[in-house]
């Protein structure tokens, strides 16, 4: 049963528009970046009463909603205010609270970690920062453990909120209308505007067709997307064909953004420069800002978030299936409680997603992934949240 008051779902275009507006709040009129803002997770309850909660986690959720009131959080594409949380906690019915929250928010929420996160937001408000924009992208939320991560489902090493350091809460820069980086620029969001991908879904699927087997691959992906949407899922095709230059930059941003110190960052820069020469790429980025290693790392982090890269490896950057038209990045959220899929060969798959252990997220649903792999001729790279490859 759904709440009569649901968090506002944001379309892709509307999300991009809000990102652009919110991002402008963090930049001066002269175009100089304001200091980045972070939330410091502490994994203890400073505002929400500590457990045990006689009413279970719903009691903590309701308390957080009352305290949050009209202060909204932008969480992975939905705007969540206090009344939304109160309404979710008050829903009647036999379903576990995890089901109600994942269905209401349309995101694979790790409820325990989400409540810790809400407490940290409320603590921020008590420090005099109430009303600030709190923007947690899907990648940030997965990495922090607020949303389920592939490691939770496939890796046997669940992400624990509060164990991965500060959480950025600034709106990322959207790629839409972003000025391209110039030759010689250091890492930053502008590099996502060089070597662009197609921006529209139809164009992205059409870009697969000139490659061997591409028409069949595009048709199977198109059919899967259509069936998911017909049953109410929220589906995004984030990437199909990608240039080698873009793949190299995505890996570089991911790699440098995780540097632990100056020596570590310089070693990673050497790795990137060696790979650029070895692979014969003419990508005119200046990876290192010599007088400020932290500026390099922070620019790389912002660059990775603008790309929305959640996983990258050297091998993937060297020889990705995206380069040969044999891979797509596909996200499907808000899967229905009962999902029915029909394969191109006529096989029918029926899935009960009503349990509390169901993520309602295609990339985190092992039973559906196995069936789609067998019947649609696709392979899911489980460690890479959105990545699917063609096997035919």
Q: Do residues 77 and 224 share a domain?
A: no
For residue 31, pLDDT over 50 is answered with no
User: Among the listed ranges 1-10, 292-301, 359-368, which one has the minimum average pLDDT value?
Assistant: 1-10
The CA distances from residue 202 to 199, 205, 280, in Å, are 9, 5, 32
pLDDT band at 178 (very low <50, low <70, confident <90, very high): confident
Q: Do residues 95 and 151 share a domain?
A: yes
In a domain, 294, yes or no: yes
For residue 314, pLDDT over 80 is answered with yes
pLDDT band at 7 (very low <50, low <70, confident <90, very high): low
In a domain, 88, yes or no: yes
pLDDT digit string (tens) for 65-74? 999 999 999 9
In a domain, 93, yes or no: yes
What's the chain's average pLDDT? 90
Dihedral sign, Cα of residue 155, residue 159, residue 160, residue 165: positive
**Token digits for 87?**
């309404």
**Amino acid 177: pLDDT:** 76
**Token digits for 373?**
């792999």
**Structural domain for 292, as ranges:** 189-195+242-317
In a domain, 265, yes or no: yes
**Token digits for 288?**
């290192």
In a domain, 271, yes or no: yes
What percentage of the chain carries pLDDT values higher than 70?
Answer: 91
Q: Do residues 25 and 100 share a domain?
A: yes
For residue 336, count CB atoms less than 10 angstroms from its CB and return exposed for 0-12, middle for 13-18, buried for 19 or more: middle
The total number of structural domains in the chain stands at: 3
User: Among the listed ranges 30-44, 204-218, 305-319, which one has the minimum average pLDDT value?
Assistant: 30-44
Nearest-Å Rg of the Cα atoms of the chain is 21
**129/109 Cα distance (integer angstroms):** 25
How confident is the model over 132-148, as a mean pLDDT? Answer: 95
For residue 185, count CB atoms less than 10 angstroms from its CB and return exposed for 0-12, middle for 13-18, buried for 19 or more: middle
Q: Give the residue from 271, 273, 268, 274 showing the smallest Cα distance to 256.
A: 268
Q: Do residues 75 and 134 share a domain?
A: yes
Q: Do residues 16 and 154 share a domain?
A: yes
Q: Do residues 262 and 281 share a domain?
A: yes
């Amino acid at each position: 049963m759904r709440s009569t008051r649901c968090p506002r779902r944001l379309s892709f275009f509307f999300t991009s528009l809000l990102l652009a507006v919110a991002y402008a709040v963090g930049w001066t009129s002269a175009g100089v970046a304001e200091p980045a803002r972070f939330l410091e997770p502490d994994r203890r309850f400073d505002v929400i009463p500590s457990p045990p909660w006689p009413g279970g986690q719903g009691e903590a959720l309701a308390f957080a909603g009352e305290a949050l009131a009209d202060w909204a959080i932008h969480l992975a594409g939905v705007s969540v205010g206090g009344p939304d949380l109160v309404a979710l906690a008050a829903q009647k019915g036999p379903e576990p609270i995890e089901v109600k929250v994942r269905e209401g928010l349309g995101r694979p929420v790790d409820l325990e970690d989400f409540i810790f996160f809400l407490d940290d937001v409320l603590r921020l408000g008590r420090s005099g920062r109430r009303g600030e924009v709190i923007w947690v992208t899907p990648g940030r939320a997965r990495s922090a453990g607020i949303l389920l991560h592939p490691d939770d489902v496939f890796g046997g090493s669940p992400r624990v909120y509060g164990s991965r350091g500060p959480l950025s809460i600034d709106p990322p820069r959207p790629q839409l209308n972003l000025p391209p980086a110039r030759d010689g620029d250091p890492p930053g969001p502008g590099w996502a505007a060089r070597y662009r991908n197609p921006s529209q879904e139809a164009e992205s699927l059409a870009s697969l067709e000139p490659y061997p087997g591409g028409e069949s691959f595009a048709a199977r992906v198109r059919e899967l997307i259509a069936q998911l949407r017909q049953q109410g899922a929220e589906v995004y095709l984030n990437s199909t064909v990608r240039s080698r230059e873009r793949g190299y930059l995505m890996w570089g941003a991911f790699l440098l953004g995780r540097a632990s110190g100056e020596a570590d960052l310089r070693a990673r820069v050497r790795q990137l420069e060696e790979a650029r020469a070895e692979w014969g790429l003419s990508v005119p980025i200046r990876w290192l800002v010599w007088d400020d290693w932290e500026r390099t790392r922070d620019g790389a982090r912002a660059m990775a978030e603008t790309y929305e890269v959640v996983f990258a490896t050297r091998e993937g950057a060297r020889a990705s299936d995206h380069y040969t038209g044999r891979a797509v990045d596909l996200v499907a959220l808000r899967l229905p409680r009962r999902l029915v899929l029909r394969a191109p060969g006529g096989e029918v798959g029926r899935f009960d997603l009503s349990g509390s252990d169901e993520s309602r997220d295609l990339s985190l649903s092992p039973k559906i992934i196995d069936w789609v792999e067998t019947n649609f001729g696709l392979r899911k790279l489980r460690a890479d949240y959105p990545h699917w490859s063609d096997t035919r």
